[in-house]
């Protein structure tokens, strides 16, 4: 066996996976070749390094898994996972968004001045609040045409029936100077307090206080009371998904709509 022959088999040799018939020749070669013997040592060190990099399951994970398994075995409802896929909370951003949202919602509910009424974020929250009272109608053909001219295919109201949501209306709205397509959905089977979803889209920049993935990245949830929102920007269009339904389902909808890449 030459060095080249051995190098092709070094991984199999180090792992003990070399064909039995080849083992004697490999050993003979190693006995005579310091260079290949040194490579084998390096290879085994690499294996040990890889093995040592293993990360054990945290105690909380072990407990959660066992709880879920025992609940399943007992036929009980599964406990909710502590966290869902890929939802990372960016706490600084969350805090900023919460402050802004709190101020706007407070303004809407308590009639106190919002800190930045000209912000699209403030306008979006106000719009969301108003829709909760008034609902949405149906746009005129002229409004629909104008929306399509501004937003293109993104002005179309997505069908979210696969997520158990019915479309209850959509409108063109002015959000701090931005023409926005606003769509309203309801989950007819849910408690009305936890049944609402609103989708807003307009062309522009992400509001300063609502940092989300800008043209690609991971979604972050911003929560205010029972309301959760996801913001992102794709192809120059800002998307704001806000609602009171289960946060996990809202995340899946945001992901479905392209809020994560």
Partner 1 sequence: MDLEGFEAATVPHMNALYDAALRLSGDQATAQDLTQETYLRALRSFNTFAPGTNCRAWLLRIQYNLFCTQYRRGRRMPLVWLDEGEADPSLDLPSAEPGPEEEAVRRLDREAVRRAIAQLPEDFRVTVTLVDIDGLTCAEAATVMGVPRGTILSRLHRARRRLEAMLLPELGRVQADDL
* Helices (H), ranges, the chain: 3-14, 23-32, 34-52, 59-73, 91-110, 120-134, 141-151, 247-256
Measure the CA–CA gap between 153 and 149, rounded to whole angstroms.
9
215 lies in the site for partner 1, by CB under 8 A: no
From the list 17, 24, 25, the residue with the least C-alpha distance to 1 is 25
Tokens of 54: 């293993």
Q: Of 194, 224, 200, which is closest to residue 101 (Cα–Cα)?
A: 224
Residue number, 15 or 99, with CB nearest to partner 1: 15
Decide whether 67 or 140 has the Cβ nearer to partner 1: 67
What is the gyration radius of the CA atoms in the chain, in angstroms? 28
Main-chain phi, psi angles of 234, to 5 degrees: -140, 130
Task: Tell which positions 40-69 bind partner 1, by CB under 8 A.
Answer: 41-58, 60-62, 64-66, 68-69
CB of 219 to partner 1, least distance (A): 12
Q: How far is the CB of 49 from partner 1 (least distance, A)?
A: 5
Under the phi-then-psi rule, with left for phi > 0, alpha for psi from -120 to 50, and beta for the rest, what region is 238?
A: beta
Nearer to partner 1, 56 or 153 (CB): 56
Residue 11 touching partner 1 (CB under 8 A): yes
**By three-state DSSP, how is residue 203 classified?**
strand
Rounded least distance, CB 79 to partner 1, Å = 9
Cβ proximity to partner 1, 130 vs 214, nearer residue: 214
Footprint (CB under 8 A) of partner 1, residues 88-127: 88
Residue 150 interacts with partner 1 (CB under 8 A): yes or no: no
Are 174 and 150 a contacting pair, CB within 8 Å? no
Count of positions (residues) in the chain: 261
Sole binder of partner 1 in the list 27, 84, 194, 208 (CB under 8 A): 84
CA distance 59 to 230: 31
Q: Which is nearer to partner 1, 147 or 250 (CB)?
A: 250
Pick 4 or 17: Cβ nearer partner 1? 17
Residues found near partner 1 in the complex (CB under 8 A): 8, 10-12, 15, 17, 38, 41-58, 60-62, 64-66, 68-70, 72-73, 78, 81-88, 218, 255, 261
């Amino acid at each position: 066996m030459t060095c080249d022959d051995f190098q092709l088999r070094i991984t199999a040799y180090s792992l003990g996976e070399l064909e039995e018939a080849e083992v004697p020749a490999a050993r003979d070669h190693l006995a005579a070749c310091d260079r290949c013997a040194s490579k084998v040592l390096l290879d085994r060190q690499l294996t040990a390094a890889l093995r040592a990099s293993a990360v054990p399951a945290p105690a909380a994970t072990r407990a959660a898994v066992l709880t879920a398994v025992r609940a399943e075995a007992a036929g009980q409802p599964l406990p909710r996972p502590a966290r869902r896929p890929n939802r990372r909370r960016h706490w600084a951003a969350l805090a900023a968004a919460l402050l802004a949202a709190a101020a706007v919602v407070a303004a809407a509910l308590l009639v106190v001045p919002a800190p930045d009424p000209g912000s699209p974020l403030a306008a979006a929250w106000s719009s969301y609040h108003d829709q909760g009272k008034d609902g949405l109608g149906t746009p005129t053909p002229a409004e629909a045409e104008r929306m399509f001219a501004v937003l293109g295919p993104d002005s179309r109201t997505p069908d979210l029936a696969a997520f158990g949501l019915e479309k209850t209306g959509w409108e063109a709205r002015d959000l701090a100077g931005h023409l926005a397509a606003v769509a309203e959905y309801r989950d007819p089977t849910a408690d009305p307090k936890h049944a609402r979803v609103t989708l807003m889209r307009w062309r522009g920049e992400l509001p300063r206080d609502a940092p989300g993935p800008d043209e690609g990245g991971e979604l972050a949830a911003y929560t205010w009371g029972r309301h959760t929102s996801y913001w992102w920007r794709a192809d120059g269009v800002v998307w704001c998904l806000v609602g009171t339904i289960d946060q996990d389902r809202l995340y899946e909808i945001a992901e479905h709509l392209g809020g994560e890449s």
